[in-house]
Structure 1
Amino acid sequence: MSEPLQEPVDATAVAEFLRRNPRFFQGREELLAEMQVPHPSGAAVSLVERQLGLLRERNHELRERLGQLMDVARDNDRLFEKTRRLVLDLLDATNLEEAVGLVEDGLRHEFQIPFVGLILFGENASPAGRWVDTEDALQTIGGLLACGKPMCGVLRSHELGFLFGEERRPQIGSAAVAALDHQGLHGVLAVGSPDPQHYKSSLGTLFLGYIADVLARLLPRLANSPLRPVR
């Protein structure tokens, strides 16, 4: 059913209403910022009109910026809750295979990340998880780990192949990488996206780094194979 047509507003009635209610705008100051009241000054634009115009533009920009900040805050709240659940699940893991499965499944399904790579470094591989020789890892992705903090962006082809496998390499446009490094355990946690712009160099990696820190402290308790320290 279509909405009934509204009758045009009677300007005289509005003026009479405001005259009888001089305090109408108290508590409704935002309405004043939207009003356009010309200031007679001939053909030129008066200073008052120009100032009001700038104030309206500034008000609009601030509203947009506030909306963006609120969106970021909501996204961070969701990420925090997902990270909290994943960490609690990891703390309940009883073996390495279970912990590796929780990380990979959690990032793919809960975080909706299509490509996940969790690699541990050591000479003697454990039956669970993906293990590579420490020297091979350093030769291939040493540059990604050298900074000591998570990084993201468009990676080189051989780095993507090492982190995610040669079959998935052509599908990945950008990635984020966090090192695992704690008391003899070394490895890397990587996430990837087909969108080259998804993991930009300016994108925050706080939650990925947090998950990597938890793994670095938890996995040594679950791993059966001794790990060789990185030289």
Structure 2
Amino acid sequence: MSKTVGATLAEPMLAVEPELATELGLSDGHIVDYLQAEPDFFARQRGLLAQLRVPHQERGSVSFVEAKLEQQKLRIYELEDDITGLLTVAGENERIFRVYMDLMPRIFECTTVTELELCLRRCLQEQLRLAAVRLIVDGRAFPNAASPDGEQLERLYRERMASQGQYLGRLGKEEKLRLFQDSLVNSCALIRLGAKGELGLLAFGSTDAGHYGSDMDTFLICQLADLVSRVLPKLVAAEFKSNDGR
């Protein structure tokens, strides 16, 4: 009775005819175990390696060596795609980093809270194509700068942020309307300002529903929020002093 060899492109292996396999008590697993235990098997059986054929979807069958080469080519194509994707992401990250680095010195030039918010909006909406940017001062920290958004902050803290300092994801229709008005926002990043989140809220909105998510790296936006937190008390005090002097 003659022996036959079968395999797949995903995992080449040796097999024998069912009748002979039953007679000898062999299974595919036995053959796989043997080949793994004898890594130099094909080095001893060079002629057999050249004769082996495996099924191929387009060409009917190919040699064992051709099948292995095809696997390697596919793997190379996959790695090339991965590298291209990584380079694209790296380029975009560098662009975003430069935008933030350009913005930070401008923050120190602002003299009022309103000017600060306008500075953030112009830079981030124009250069990063964000749909909306909001800076909301917490009236509990700055009674003289009480905002009509105070109740809204409380609801966001309670319903979306709880004990967390940030929230990334989607908001309900009413929440979006209250926070971003008529701006088309499908995902957002909310970062509380201050060491304990007591100063207010910095909010970013994107039209892309998947732009902000729980798996996003928040290093840059948290650095920006920290900087805003440092200058905000001085701006509020200066603005109140200016208004009081009038």
Using the size of structure 1 for normalisation, the TM-score is 0.68
Structural RMSD (CA): 2.7
- Of the candidates 82, 95, 102, which is equivalent to residue 85 of structure 1? 102
- Of the candidates 195, 208, 216, which is equivalent to residue 229 of structure 2? 216
| 1:181 aligns to 2:197 (yes or no) | no
| 1:139 aligns to 2:183 (yes or no) | no
The aligned runs of 1:62-77 (5 Å cut-off) are: 62-77=79-94
Asked whether the 8 Å contact 1:185–1:216 carries over to 2, the reply is no
Structure 1 residues 81-134: Cα deviation after superposition (integer angstroms, max 9, x where no partner): 1001111111222333322221122111122212122111114353xxx82465
Mapped partners of 2:194, 2:161: distance in 1:
10
- Number of residue pairs matched by the alignment: 182
The aligned runs of 1:45-64 (5 Å cut-off) are: 45-64=62-81
Mapped partners of 1:132, 1:60: distance in 2:
56
Structure 1 residues 17-36: Cα deviation after superposition (integer angstroms, max 9, x where no partner): xxxxxxxxxxxxxxxxxxxx
Structure (1 or 2) with the larger CA radius of gyration: 2
Deviation at 1:200, TM superposition (A): 3.6
Structure 2 CA distance for partners of 1:133 and 1:112, relative to 1, 3 Å? closer
Asked whether the 8 Å contact 2:167–2:191 carries over to 1, the reply is yes
Structure 1 residues 138-177: Cα deviation after superposition (integer angstroms, max 9, x where no partner): 2344333335343322212232123212x33xx3222222
Local SS of the residue matching 2:87? helix
Q: Which runs of 5+ in 2 are unaligned?
A: 1-49, 54-59, 242-246
Deviates more, 1:88-97 or 1:74-83: 88-97
Local SS of the residue matching 1:221? helix
Structure 2 CA distance for partners of 1:85 and 1:174, relative to 1, 3 Å? same
Deviation at 1:136, TM superposition (A): 4.8
Asked whether the 8 Å contact 2:192–2:198 carries over to 1, the reply is no
Mapped partners of 2:162, 2:95: distance in 1:
30
Asked whether the 8 Å contact 2:117–2:134 carries over to 1, the reply is no
Local SS of the residue matching 1:222? helix
1:207 is aligned to 220
Structure with a larger share of its residues in helix: 2
Q: Which amino acid aligns with 1:83?
A: Y
Asked whether the 8 Å contact 2:168–2:190 carries over to 1, the reply is yes
Using the size of structure 2 for normalisation, the TM-score is 0.64
Q: Which runs of 5+ in 1 are unaligned?
A: 1-38, 227-231
Mapped partners of 2:87, 2:223: distance in 1:
23
Mapped partners of 1:195, 1:162: distance in 2:
19
Asked whether the 8 Å contact 1:121–1:187 carries over to 2, the reply is yes
